[in-house]
Chain A
Amino acid sequence: MAEDRTILTDLRETIERYMGSLSVREAPVIGWCCSYVPVEILESAGLVPLRLLPPPPAEMGDAYLNPNFCGYVRAIMGEGLARAYPFLSGLVVMNTCDGMRRLFDAWSHFHDLSFVHLMDLPRITTPGAVVYFREEIERLIDRVSSHFGVSISTETMASCFRASNRTHTLLQQVQDLMGQGRLDLTDYEAIELLKATGILARETCHPLLKRVINESPMEGDRRGVPILLTGSMLENPEIVSMIEAGGGWVVAQDLCVAGRRSENPISLTEDPLMALARHYLLRPPCARMQDSQRRIDYVSNLVRSYHVRGVIYYVLKFCDTFLYEAPVLKQTLDHMGIPMLIIESEYRGGWGGGIQTRIQAFLEMLNGAGSPDQREATR
C-alpha cells in the first residue's frame, strides 16, 4: 500500500490551515449560511466569504429562538459560532425561510457584529422576480461598499465571475466522475470535498479538485447500490459512511451544503448583475422555492440520469419547506419504482441507533437481503 497521503488527510489539513489563516487575515471574513448567497459580490469587494458549518454546540441557541427551530439555525445562534468562528466580521443571511429570517432578527438583537445583512430572495422565477433579485444584489453592493469602504468595479466582478465559472466547471467534472464511479475516493471523502468548496477560497480548493480529477482512473467501477443523497444540510458526514458500509454507493448528491449548482456558468456577456441574478435564481431549486414541481422534476431527472435505485432524503427536523415536499417527492419516486428513505436530523452530531438502523434497513431492502428466494453474495 502506498504511503502517500489520502485526499481526506490533505483536505482536513488544508481546511485547518485555512481556518487558522483567517484569524490573522486582513481581509474581513463574511459568513454565509445559504447557497443562494451571491458570494461573487463578496469576493469582488475583496472580502472572504465563508460557509458557516458550525459543529453542533453544547448550547443550541434555543433561548434566542425556539426549540422547534431547525438545528442549523440554532447552532449558528448558539455558542458554536462564537467558538468556531471568532474572526467573523460580518454575516449575510438570505431570506430563505422563517428560520433564516428570525436568525437575522435574533442575531441583530442579541449579538454584536458590525455587518449583518439580510438579502431578500424571490420564491418564484418570473422575469419580474429576476429583476427584483437584481435590485437586491445592487442593494448588497451598496451596503458592502459603504460599510467596508470599497468600490466594486465591473472588471473585478468579471474576474470573480470567471473564477466562479472555473469552480463550476471543476465541480461538474467531479460530479460526472462520481456518477461514473471514477473517483478514487470513498463517498465520504467525495462529499467532504464538495462541502469544502464552500469553505475554502477558490485558489485553495481548485488545486485539490484538479488533483482529484487528474488522479481519477480511466475505468469506473460500480461499487454498490446507486443512491441519490438529496436534502439540505449534512452536518453529519458519518451518514455517508453508513451508506457505504450498508452496500450503498452515493452516485449523485443534491444537497444545499454540497453545492446544488447551476447547470450553467455565469454569463459574461450581459449586465453582470442581471447575469448573476439569473445564475442564482434559475438554478436547480431548493425546496424553499415555490414551484415544487420544478424541483421534483429535477430530482427525478437525476434519478434517471444516474440510474439511481434508492433515494436518501436527509433533512433537518422542523424544516417546513422540505417536510411538505417529502411526501410528494416520495409519491413521484414511488411511481418510478424508486424507494425513498426520509431521515430527519436534529443537527446534534453523532447518531442514535435509529438513523443507522434506518439506513441499514433501507439498503438491506434494496439489496433484497433477507428475501427468502435470494441467495446473497458474500461481501
Chain B
Amino acid sequence: MNSSPLCAGLDIGSLSTEVVVIGPQGIMGYSIVPTGSNIQRAIQSSMEKALKDAGVSQSHLSAVVATGYGRFNLSFPARQVTEITCHGRGASHLFPRTRTVIDLGGQDSKVIILDARRRVVDFVMNDKCAAGTGRFLEVMAGALETCLEEMGSLSLRARKRISISSMCTVFAESEVVSLIAQGASREDIIGGIHDSIASRIYRMAKRLRIEGEITFTGGVAKNLGMVEVLRRRFKASINLPDEPQIVGALGAALIARNSPQPVR
C-alpha cells in the first residue's frame, strides 16, 4: 500500500480533459477543461485546476494514471490504462452493484460489462462513426439552430413520435432539414433525434449480455432527455452519477491507488 495514498487520474479526451484527485477519504478535487487544439496545455491546466481544487500539489501525488485518447502525451511519468477499464472501475466504485456501464461520449460510445467482482469481462466500442455519439447531437443542434445544452429539455417536450430513419449523420441532417420544411415542430424533431441515438446505442449494447444495474457515464449522460429515452428503451433503472463526465478520470485515479509502482 502507498504510504501517502494521494493519487490522480487523467482522462484526456478529444473534446474535454478531466482530472480527479483522490485521497484517503475519496474524491478531494476535480476539474473539467476543454481539450482544444493543444493537448499539453489542456493537461497542464486541468492538472492545476484539480490540484488547486483538492488543495494539494503535484509532489504530493504518489501515483498517476492517464486514460483517454491523449493518454500517451504526458510529459510526466504515469501509467496508461484504457478508458474501458477506467470507466468500468469508476462506475463500479460509485455504484458497486452495477454490471453494465454505458459511456456516452462526445466522439464515441462504449458499453462495458462487469462481473460480480467488478472486473471487466466484455466490451464494445463505437468509434467509427458519429451516429450514436454526442457529435450527432451537436450537428443536429446546429441544424435546428439551438444549443447542445437545450437539446435534452427540448426532447422531453416532444408531442409526437417522429422517426429519423437515417443512420448516417449526414443523411439524418438532410432528413431533419426536410422535416423542418414540412412544418414538424422542433421539439418533435429533437425527440426523434434522441430516439435515433438511443436506438443506435441499444443495438450496440444488445450485442453483449446486458444484465443487472446499468450506469451511464460520459458527457452525454448529462442530457436528461437522452437518459429518459434510454431508460425507456432498456426498460431498466439507470444509475446516474452526479458528475458523469469525470467517471473515467475517477476510475483512473482508483487504479493509480491500487498500483504500487512509484511515479518518479
Contacts and interface: CB of A to CB of B under 8 A. Distances in A.
In the complex they form, whether A and B have CB atoms below 8 Å apart is answered with yes
Interface of A: 339, 352-354, 357-358, 360-361, 364-365, 368-376, 378
A365 B123 contact: yes
A370 B93 contact: no
Select the residue from B69, B118, B258 with max chain A CB neighbours within 10 A: B258
B3 to A, nearest CB: 15
B258 A361 contact: no
A370 B260 contact: no
Interface stretch (B81-89, B135-143, B160-168, B217-225): B81-89
Contacts, number: 77
Contacts of A369: 81, 85, 255
14 contacts: A352-B127, A353-B69, A353-B127, A354-B108, A354-B127, A357-B125, A361-B123, A364-B81, A364-B82, A364-B120, A369-B255, A372-B93, A372-B118, A375-B260
Given A354-B128, A370-B120, A364 B85 contact: yes
Give chain B's interface secondary structure class: mixed
Nearest to B114: A371
B149 interface: no
B119 interface: yes
A357 B260 contact: no
A364 to B, nearest CB: 4
B122 A339 contact: yes
B251 interface: yes
A141 to B, nearest CB: 45
B181 interface: no
A299 to B, nearest CB: 19
8 smallest CB-CB distances across A and B, nearest first, come from A361-B84, A370-B85, A361-B82, A371-B119, A370-B89, A364-B85, A365-B120, A354-B127
Contact of A376 (B119, B128, B259): B259
Give chain A's interface secondary structure class: loop
Interface in B60-118: 69, 80-86, 88-89, 92-93, 108, 117-118
B254 interface: yes
Contacts of A375: 258-260
Contact of A339 (B84, B85, B121, B254): B121
B89 A372 contact: yes
Interface residues of B, number: 30
B57 interface: no
A372 B86 CA distance: 11
Contacts of B69: 353, 357
B146 interface: no
Select the residue from A360, A370, A375, A378 with max chain B CB neighbours within 10 A: A370
B254 A372 contact: yes
A370 B81 contact: yes
A316 B170 CA distance: 25
Select the residue from A354, A369, A376, A378 with max chain B CB neighbours within 10 A: A369
B57 to A, nearest CB: 25
A364 B84 contact: yes
A357 B83 contact: yes
A52 B86 CA distance: 41
B35 to A, nearest CB: 14
B85 A361 contact: yes
Contacts of A358: 125
Contact of A365 (B108, B118, B121): B121
B120 A361 contact: yes
A371 B82 contact: no
A354 B129 CA distance: 12
B261 interface: yes
Given A339-B121, A352-B127, A364-B120, A374 B258 contact: yes
Select the residue from B83, B119, B261 with max chain A CB neighbours within 10 A: B119
A337 to B, nearest CB: 10
Nearest to B108: A354
B81 A354 contact: no
Nearest to A341: B123
Contacts of B254: 370, 372
B125 A365 contact: no
A312 to B, nearest CB: 14
B92 A372 contact: yes
A113 to B, nearest CB: 35
A378 B119 contact: no
Select the residue from B80, B122, B125, B251 with max chain A CB neighbours within 10 A: B122
A113 B84 CA distance: 49
A365 B261 contact: no
Contact of A357 (B82, B93, B119, B128): B82
A355 B54 CA distance: 35
A64 to B, nearest CB: 24
A354 B110 CA distance: 11
A354 B255 contact: no
A199 to B, nearest CB: 31
Contacts of A372: 89, 92-93, 117-118, 254, 258
A225 B117 CA distance: 20
B251 A370 contact: yes
A330 B128 CA distance: 22
Contacts of B93: 372
A123 B82 CA distance: 41
Interface string B252-264: 0011001111000
